[in-house]
Amino acid sequence: MDLRVLQFAEAIGRLGSFTRAAEEIAIAQPALSTAIAKLENELGVQLFFRMPRGAKPTPEGKLLLARAARIFEEVDSLKRELSDVSDLRSGHVTVGFPPMYGLHYFPDLAMAFRKRYPGIEITAMEGSASSIRDRLAAGSIDIGVLEARRVDSAWKTIRLGSDEMVLSVAQDHPLASRKKVTPAVLNELPMVVLSEGFLQRELLDGYCAEHEVQYRKVMECNFVHMTVVAAQAGHGAATLMRSMVDRQPGLVGISFEPKEMFNFEMCWRRDRYFSKACGAFVGFAVGEAAPQS
């Protein structure tokens, strides 16, 4: 069985079309169709239903694609393992992290790591906790930085540090002098909130539901910097990390009652090859100062 033909099949299954798969792979469609037909003859089963406007896997095709995904992951792991060198002159690490962690901490960490290991390439991916968790589960990133509540119990983890989620308001906001956030404060409070999928949003909504209060949403976005700017301008309160608020002029952070702490962990899959470059990155990150509450 030709690995290249398995890649053809994966593209067809993912894109739902022989035509689009041929365009992505840069192969003539007749050649692609012929390769898949030969594979079907070799296996003795039909892999795809051909339809006037696309294609979709048969039950046998779905089984093949599921096994092919494992094969591709094993091949990728093998390539990376063979390319590892003991002195770490080369390598690649893909890290995913939430914006609240990455805005200030991760860039400094990445630059310091690159100075120590200039031959190791870093790919950084920012996203909500849900998206980072999904990427790590799918194997599209090597390492994830997640709040402890979002970490799969089957993954390996190392605690990096802690931070506090606070209600952030402009210095001239009516709440700026408060020491604590209580449920009554949030009721009908104009707020700039992060999109669903962010843990801060989930905790805020859960807090309000528990205490039967409801804030007034004036803006929703998945762009953390926009959330910060909107809060600074007085458009509404926002939930941010204290380490971030302390670095932003014109913002005040107010603790929830009780305090809402975030514990950040670096995590990776036990069942996936963990390169020497990844091990070096984890060791370096743990050795660096992490955000503290």
pLDDT one-digit tens code per residue, 89-134: 778 899 998 887 766 778 888 999 999 899 899 999 988 888 899 9
Cα 36-71-143 angle, rounded to 5 deg = 130
Does one domain contain both 272 and 243? no
Does one domain contain both 171 and 254? yes
Angstrom distance (rounded) from CA 89 to CA 224: 35
pLDDT one-digit tens code per residue, 193-219: 998 888 889 999 999 999 999 999 999
pTM: 0.64
Does one domain contain both 215 and 180? yes
Does one domain contain both 169 and 255? yes
Assess whether pLDDT exceeds 90 at residue 22. Answer: yes
| Parent domain of 123 | 91-162+264-287
Does one domain contain both 275 and 157? yes
* Residue 293 belongs to a domain: no
CA 36 to each of CA 27, 32, 55, 182, 212: distance values in angstroms, whole numbers, following the listed order = 13, 6, 12, 63, 58
- Which residue type, as a one-letter code, is found at position 54? G
> Average pLDDT of the chain?
89
Burial of 249 per CB tally in 10 Å (0-12, 13-18, 19+): exposed
Among 41, 57, 82, the domain boundary falls at 82
Cβ atoms 159, 265 nearer than 8 A:
yes
Please give the torsion angle defined by the CA atoms of residues 54, 58, 61 and 67, in that order, rounded to the nearest 10 degrees: 120
Cα 245-249-253 angle, rounded to 5 deg = 30
The residue with tokens 């046998």 is 60
pLDDT one-digit tens code per residue, 257-278: 889 999 989 999 998 888 888 9
pLDDT one-digit tens code per residue, 137-185: 999 999 999 999 989 999 999 998 889 999 999 999 999 999 999 999 9
* Residue 223 belongs to a domain: yes
Angstrom distance (rounded) from CA 147 to CA 145: 7
* Residue 292 belongs to a domain: no
Q: Provide the phi-psi class of 26: left if phi over 0, else alpha when psi is between -120 and 50, else beta.
A: left
